[in-house]
């Protein structure tokens, strides 16, 4: 007799559904957007803060002189365009390019191109003087490379706004706005890449020239497919390849974050000061790490607070990778880690290290929360501009709030069982 139950999906069916999922869409659009904004903003603020000291840190007046850098880079084969010339004008141009590319990547203007220029700026400055930094520079170094492979401008970007406008025009039967900036950037950067490759200016590593040329050729193919066959198979194939690269890179980023916390936590366990619960006391007593001596002194004076924070740090870092498949526990530890880095920024005077780590943690933020946060920010911005224009717009605000709630409900239903959801 039929029990009325339907058989579940077969293993082959599950595999096919999984393949279709990772090839048909770029997962984690909000998480990748937060990573893009977080790391570009972190590096932009760092470059602005160090602008008066740029010559001493990375330029001709630094203690790590040109000859020393040339000798080191000759041994490790690292990439830096600052070694193409020792002139001040060239250094200023590279520093300005790093600033501009970070700002444009943050707002999501021509994100594919800006991500490459951002990576070039980060690698050039950091590899020129590798002994400058506080630990967060290593994370930025890696994430700048990963961002090139992601579709990190699907939401919260000028690129997404332009795509939405073109989609609206297509729905109205109008032709999309002609793209001028994209082909110009592609045509300008092609000869630069060719000269750099022929002159050996891309370092001794094989992966960087290959990545840059694949990216340049791929961008040209993408533009041609969109221009001449927007609904054809070449366009679909490029979409699948881009989605695969994005999703694979997102997994690598998550693994990287887990590796950072796991290694940090397990190394701490082996230290005697972390074992007896006094490790936090010592940095709170170092002048170099006490921008607020009074606050640091209050915390260091309480043995219970020092012990709880010391053991809590180890516990959170060791446990976090094991909680990824339990959303509630993962989110609790995520809040704890973000709070920990905020405390490091204030108490130890390491704001950019903390910003970099919080941006890396953002890959695990729940989609529902990010959608809600984006809706609140948009609503606040609209109200602000409405008041400046002298209007009220209550109906518009109510509609946006309802749309935001609807989007939260859809994301809760569609992303509830993913690592980033």
pLDDT in tens, the chain (421 residues): 455 555 566 777 777 787 888 888 899 999 999 999 999 999 999 999 999 999 999 988 888 888 888 888 888 888 999 989 888 999 999 999 999 999 999 999 999 999 999 999 999 999 998 888 777 888 999 999 999 999 999 999 999 999 999 888 888 888 788 888 989 999 999 999 999 998 888 877 788 899 999 999 999 999 888 888 878 888 889 999 999 999 999 999 999 999 999 999 999 999 899 999 999 999 998 888 888 989 999 999 999 999 999 999 999 999 999 988 888 999 999 999 999 999 999 999 899 999 999 999 999 999 999 999 988 988 888 888 777 666 554 444 444 444 454 454 444 444 333 344 4
* Residue 398: predicted pLDDT: 46
Length of the chain: 421
How far apart CA 215 and CA 108 sit, in angstroms, is 18
Residue 204: what pLDDT? 77
Q: How far from chain centre, in Å, is Cα 216?
A: 21
What is the distance between the alpha carbons of residues 337 and 325, in angstroms, rounded to a whole number?
A: 17
Tokens 């569609």: give the residue: 414
Domain ranges of the chain: 26-162+194-239
Distance between CA atoms of residues 416 and 406, nearest Å: 15
Sign of the Cα torsion 198, 202, 204, 209 reads negative
DSSP assigned state of 391 = -
CA dist., res. 58 & res. 46, Å (int):
13
Question: DSSP letter string over 71-112?
Answer: HHHHHH----GGGG---HHHHHHHHHHHHHHHHHHHHTSSHH
Per-residue model confidence (pLDDT) at position 248: 95
The structure tokens 């970099």 sit at 356
Q: Which of 276, 282, 363, 267 is nearest to 318 (CA)?
A: 267
Would you give the distance in Å from CA 187 to the centre of its chain?
A: 27
């Amino acid at each position: 007799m039929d029990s009325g139950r339907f058989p579940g999906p077969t293993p082959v069916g599950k595999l096919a559904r999984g393949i279709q999922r990772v090839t048909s869409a770029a997962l984690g659009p909000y998480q990748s957007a937060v990573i893009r904004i977080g790391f570009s903003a972190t590096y932009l603020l760092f470059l602005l803060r160090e602008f008066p000291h740029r010559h001493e840190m990375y330029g001709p007046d630094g203690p790590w002189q040109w000859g020393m850098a040339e000798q080191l880079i000759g041994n490790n084969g690292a990439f830096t365009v600052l070694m193409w010339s020792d002139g001040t004008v060239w250094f200023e141009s590279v520093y300005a390019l790093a600033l501009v590319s970070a700002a444009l990547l943050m707002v999501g203007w021509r994100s594919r191109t800006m991500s490459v220029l951002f990576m070039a700026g980060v690698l050039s400055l950091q590899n020129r003087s590798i002994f400058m930094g506080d630990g967060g520079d290593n994370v930025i170094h890696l994430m700048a490379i990963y961002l090139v492979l992601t579709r990190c401008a699907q939401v919260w970007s000028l690129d997404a706004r332009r795509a939405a406008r073109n989609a609206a025009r297509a729905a109205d039967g109008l032709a999309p706005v002609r793209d001028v900036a994209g082909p110009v950037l592609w045509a300008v950067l092609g000869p630069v890449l060719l000269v750099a490759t022929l002159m050996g200016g891309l370092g001794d590593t094989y992966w960087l020239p290959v990545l840059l040329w694949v990216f340049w050729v791929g961008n040209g193919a993408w533009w041609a497919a969109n221009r001449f066959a927007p609904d054809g198979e070449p366009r679909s194939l490029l979409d699948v390849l881009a989605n695969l690269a994005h999703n694979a890179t997102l997994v690598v980023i998550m693994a990287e974050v887990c590796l950072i916390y796991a290694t940090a936590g397990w190394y701490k366990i082996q230290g005697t000061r972390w074992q007896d619960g006094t490790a936090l006391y010592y940095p709170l007593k170092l002048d170099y790490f006490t921008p607020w001596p009074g606050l640091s002194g209050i915390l260091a004076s309480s043995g219970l607070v020092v012990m709880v924070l010391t053991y809590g740090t180890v516990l959170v870092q060791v446990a976090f990778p094991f909680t990824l498949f339990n959303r509630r526990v993962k989110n609790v530890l995520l809040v704890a880690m973000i709070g920990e880095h905020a405390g490091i920024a204030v108490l130890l005077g390491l704001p950019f290290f903390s910003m970099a780590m919080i941006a890396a943690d953002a890959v695990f933020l729940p989609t529902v929360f990010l959608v809600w946060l984006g809706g609140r920010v948009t609503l606040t911005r609209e109200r602000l501009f409405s008041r400046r224009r002298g209007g009220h717009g209550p109906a518009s605000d109510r509609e946006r709030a309802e749309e935001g709630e609807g989007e939260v409900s859809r994301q809760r239903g569609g992303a509830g069982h993913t690592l980033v959801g």
